[in-house]
């Protein structure tokens, strides 16, 4: 036993002399592994010196020892050193991770519908709660009015699945997944617009505003630019050449200019058609073209063109998420083209067709009304 004491003193001297861990352990190994009692005594003597190198030596001993009793003593010694402020390398103590891990919240989810002719769309933002289901925020936003409607409700997974299925059946437009931070960004934009319009935001939004702000990320450009290469699309004349057909797309079929804005031009076309002045077809067409261009010039200021550009960018994203890539490219091409100043000699094909379509929707309604009135006249 006396030899062990001397050996340990020599080990401590080697530590003070700055010898490496490897050299000291090689020397120590000549004493270890002969019998458990010797190993236990070596461990107890070493731990009396609180030093980081002693901790490393004990860690190496733990790695080579095969006796469970010795392993237990070494671990206890390491814990003693740790309690005295000595850093113990990770893994030496073999700490077990807790069986029960803290619950982690699922990431938020976002959804958005297509946009109607008024610039309105439905947004959904789902914020999971740890162990408490989900907070489901649904709202209707308008790019000209701000927050139209908003509500928040707590749901579990099953309730949300049922709610989402019914929602898809109820609304006319498809709903696509959208980056939740971008959905929150759109909500925040709509909220700011509501305040600018001096309107009162929905109470439900105010209650959940901080949560929405926590999910939101500021975005310089609409989301579609992360998926489509704008520079290639903008320079593709073939894609832009299909712009006038965009309004035939099912998602754009309901797009038209608001009645109060287009009504004067529809009335002008009706008057030209019903005029008592005899005009040949070419003269009528010239008059119609004059009315269309007048509407285009009056209704599409730079501010309003920007509004339609954003609508088309957002619609391009919806089309892209639906797997309709070519139509998405056309929508984005039309949006980019709206950056250009209005040109009445070569009018934007999309806006021109939108004017014509909107006028003829009202003319069709007027013609149907006139036909019904004539049918009610009782002939003598």
User: Residue 144 and residue 261: Cα distance in Å, rounded?
Assistant: 15
Distances from the Cα of 337 to the Cαs of 253, 268, 303, 355, in angstroms?
21, 29, 14, 17
Element (H, E) at 359: helix 349-375
Q: What's the confidence (pLDDT) of residue 104?
A: 64
For the chain, give the percent of residues with pLDDT over 90: 54
Q: What's the confidence (pLDDT) of residue 105?
A: 66
User: Residue 282 and residue 291: Cα distance in Å, rounded?
Assistant: 14
216 — pLDDT class (breaks 50, 70, 90)? very high
Most confident of 34-38, 157-161, 274-278: 157-161
73 — pLDDT class (breaks 50, 70, 90)? confident
Q: Answer whether residue 87 shows pLDDT above 70.
A: no
What tokens appear for 378 in the block?
Answer: 């009782």
Distances from the Cα of 272 to the Cαs of 252, 286, 346, 356, 361, in angstroms?
29, 10, 24, 15, 17
Mean pLDDT, range 281-291, rounded to an integer: 88
Mean pLDDT, range 35-45, rounded to an integer: 73
Q: What's the confidence (pLDDT) of residue 41?
A: 75
**Residue keyed to tokens 């439900």:** 204
Q: What's the confidence (pLDDT) of residue 234?
A: 86
Q: What's the confidence (pLDDT) of residue 152?
A: 95
Closest CA to 176 of 303, 319, 287: 319
Write down the mean pLDDT value for the chain.
84
Domain boundaries of the chain, sorted by first residue: 2-83, 109-220, 230-375
Q: What's the confidence (pLDDT) of residue 36?
A: 73
User: Residue 230 and residue 339: Cα distance in Å, rounded?
Assistant: 13
Q: Answer whether residue 45 shows pLDDT above 80.
A: no
Kindly report, residue by residue over 107-147, the tens digit of the pLDDT: 999 999 999 999 999 999 999 876 668 999 999 999 999 99
pTM: 0.70
User: Residue 68 and residue 63: Cα distance in Å, rounded?
Assistant: 12
Pair 353, 160: CB distance under 8 Å = no
């Amino acid at each position: 036993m006396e030899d062990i004491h001397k050996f340990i003193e020599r080990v401590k001297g080697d530590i003070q002399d700055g010898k490496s861990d490897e050299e000291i352990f090689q020397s120590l190994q000549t004493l270890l592994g002969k019998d458990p009692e010797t190993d236990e005594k070596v461990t107890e003597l070493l731990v009396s010196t609180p030093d980081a190198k002693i901790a490393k030596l004990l860690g190496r001993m733990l790695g080579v020892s095969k006796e469970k009793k010795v392993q237990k003593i070494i671990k206890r010694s390491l814990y003693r050193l740790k309690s005295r402020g000595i850093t113990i390398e990770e893994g030496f103590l073999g700490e077990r991770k807790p069986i029960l891990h803290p619950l982690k919240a699922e990431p938020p989810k976002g959804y958005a519908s297509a946009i109607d002719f008024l610039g309105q769309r439905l947004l959904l933002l789902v914020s999971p709660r740890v162990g408490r289901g989900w907070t489901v925020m649904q709202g209707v936003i308008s790019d000209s009015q701000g927050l139209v409607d908003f509500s928040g409700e707590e749901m579990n997974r099953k309730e949300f699945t049922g709610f989402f299925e019914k929602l898809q059946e109820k609304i006319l437009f498809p709903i696509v997944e959208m980056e939740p931070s971008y959905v929150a960004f759109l909500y925040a934009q709509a909220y700011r617009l509501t305040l600018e319009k001096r309107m009162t935001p929905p109470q439900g939004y105010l209650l959940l505003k901080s949560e929405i702000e926590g999910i939101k990320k500021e975005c310089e450009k609409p989301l579609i630019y992360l998926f489509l290469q704008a520079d290639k699309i903008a320079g593709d004349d073939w894609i832009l050449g299909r712009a006038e057909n965009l309004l035939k797309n099912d998602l754009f079929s309901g797009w038209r200019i608001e009645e109060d804005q287009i009504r004067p031009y529809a009335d002008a076309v009706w008057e030209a058609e019903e005029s008592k002045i005899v005009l040949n077809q070419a003269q009528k067409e010239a008059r119609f073209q004059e009315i269309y261009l007048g509407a285009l010039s009056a209704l599409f200021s730079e501010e309003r063109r920007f509004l339609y550009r954003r609508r088309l960018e957002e619609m391009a994203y919806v089309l892209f998420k639906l797997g309709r890539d070519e139509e998405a490219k056309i929508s984005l091409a039309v949006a980019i083209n709206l950056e250009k100043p209005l040109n009445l000699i070569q009018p934007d094909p999309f806006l021109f067709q939108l004017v014509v379509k909107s006028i003829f929707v009202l003319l069709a309604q007027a013609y149907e009304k006139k036909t019904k009135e004539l049918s009610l006249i009782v002939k003598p």
